[in-house]
């Protein structure tokens, strides 16, 4: 939209024809249909013939929060998220916004460079790393009693006894129910009178177990940090990122996924030199 005369051309057309409209049918049939066809081949093929007629249709689950200015940040020192309307359809013929934000805002990924000098940056992650199995370890019952708890090796052993072996290359996600607090910055950060935050995360021992015994691709949490809130050393961050893997923070809707068997898709913009960044995460199951 930078070609000289663009605004004038669009403005003249709107004056004569009115603002453009996109019908729901066109939006759904075009954009969403293409997305589903690309991400879920079996769904796209379901109507192609007899042999696909009874194939199960995948369900898509959105795992990202809406990116917004009031989403809780990890620390007061993090750059606040701001936005402003830059142009409008009424005034300029098209609509757009200017945003400023810290790379680790809202639902986002941490890549190795975030904690590792010389570690891989966002553009260096391969597409294959952004799609793969996801398993969900539910610690929500314990979190209701002990908000600052961590996923430990015993949780992983119990998971495998009930649901089977964690597959190689999986993202292992913690479901704690913490997303229910996201409407309040104070509740989501859950700081005690001394200012120490109390929310769940992964313990270092669990991350080491997963890397050494299951060769995972990464870990994810539905809270503010891969480490629990009281951590001052960020051991889980350092452990997983030093192993050239990644982490995902502030996930949602993990309770809607099966414990194992779902496929995770991560849409990370390849920011130049990025230490991670906001991402659209979803799963098919």
**Residue 134 shares a structural domain with residue 250:** yes
The pLDDT, as a whole number, for residue 56 is 66
Instruction: Please indicate, yes or no, if residue 89 is contained in any of the structural domains.
Output: no
Cα(112)–Cα(110) distance, rounded to whole angstroms? 7
* CATH number for the domain that contains residue 175: 3.50.30.50
Per the structure, the count of domains in the chain is 2
Dig out the tokens for 273 from the structure: 């030199």
Cα(118)–Cα(203) distance, rounded to whole angstroms? 25
**Residue 17 shares a structural domain with residue 118:** no
Of 97, 102, 63, give the one whose Cα is nearest residue 83: 97
pLDDT, one tens digit per residue, over 256-281 is 999 999 999 999 999 999 999 999 99
Instruction: Please indicate, yes or no, if residue 269 is contained in any of the structural domains.
Output: yes
The pLDDT, as a whole number, for residue 252 is 98
The pLDDT, as a whole number, for residue 57 is 76
Cα(54)–Cα(44) distance, rounded to whole angstroms? 13
The pLDDT, as a whole number, for residue 76 is 79
Reported confidence tier of residue 58, pLDDT bands at 50, 70, 90? confident
Q: Are 245 and 73 in contact (CB under 8 A)?
A: no
**Residue 144 shares a structural domain with residue 219:** yes
**Residue 164 shares a structural domain with residue 278:** yes
pLDDT, one tens digit per residue, over 102-157 is 999 999 999 999 999 999 999 999 999 999 999 999 999 999 999 999 999 999 99
pTM, whole model, 2 decimals? Answer: 0.83
* pLDDT above 90: percentage of residues in the chain: 78
β-strands 276-284, 262-268 pairing: antiparallel
Cα(144)–Cα(154) distance, rounded to whole angstroms? 18
Supply angle C-alpha 243, 249, 251, rounded to 5: 130
Q: Are 206 and 155 in contact (CB under 8 A)?
A: yes
Of 219, 225, 179, give the one whose Cα is nearest residue 200: 225
Instruction: Please indicate, yes or no, if residue 21 is contained in any of the structural domains.
Output: yes
Dig out the tokens for 97 from the structure: 């916004």
Contacts of 196 (CB under 8 A, 6+ apart): 229, 230
**Residue 145 shares a structural domain with residue 278:** yes
Range(s) of the domain holding residue 16 = 6-57
**Residue 155 shares a structural domain with residue 238:** yes
**Residue 112 shares a structural domain with residue 53:** no
Instruction: Please indicate, yes or no, if residue 279 is contained in any of the structural domains.
Output: yes
**Residue 235 shares a structural domain with residue 161:** yes
């Amino acid at each position: 939209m930078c070609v000289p005369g663009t605004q004038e051309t669009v403005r003249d057309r709107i004056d004569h024809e009115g603002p453009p409209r996109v019908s729901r049918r066109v939006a759904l049939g075009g954009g969403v249909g293409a997305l589903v066809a690309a991400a879920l081949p079996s769904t796209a093929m379901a109507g192609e013939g007899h042999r696909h007629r009874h194939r199960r249709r995948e369900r898509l689950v959105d795992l990202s929060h809406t990116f917004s200015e009031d989403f809780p940040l990890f620390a007061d020192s993090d750059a606040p998220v701001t936005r402003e309307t830059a142009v409008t359809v009424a005034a300029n013929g098209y609509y757009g916004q200017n945003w400023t934000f810290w790379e680790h805002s809202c639902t986002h990924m941490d890549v190795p460079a975030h904690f590792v000098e010389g570690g891989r940056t966002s553009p260096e992650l391969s597409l294959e790393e952004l799609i793969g199995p996801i398993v969900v370890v539910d610690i929500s019952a314990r979190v209701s009693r002990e908000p600052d708890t961590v996923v430990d090796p015993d949780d992983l052993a119990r998971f495998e006894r009930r649901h089977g072996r964690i597959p190689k290359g999986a993202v292992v996600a913690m479901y704690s129910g913490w997303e229910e607090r996201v409407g309040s910055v104070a509740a989501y950060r859950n700081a005690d009178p001394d200012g120490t935050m109390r929310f769940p995360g992964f313990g270092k021992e669990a991350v080491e177990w997963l890397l050494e015994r299951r060769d995972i691709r990464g870990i994810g949490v539905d809270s503010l940090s891969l480490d629990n809130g009281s951590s001052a050393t960020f051991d889980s961050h350092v452990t997983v990122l030093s192993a050239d893997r990644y982490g995902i923070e502030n996930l949602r809707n993990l309770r809607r996924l099966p414990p194992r068997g779902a496929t995770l898709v991560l849409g990370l913009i390849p920011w130049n030199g990025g230490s991670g960044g906001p991402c659209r995460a979803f799963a098919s199951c």
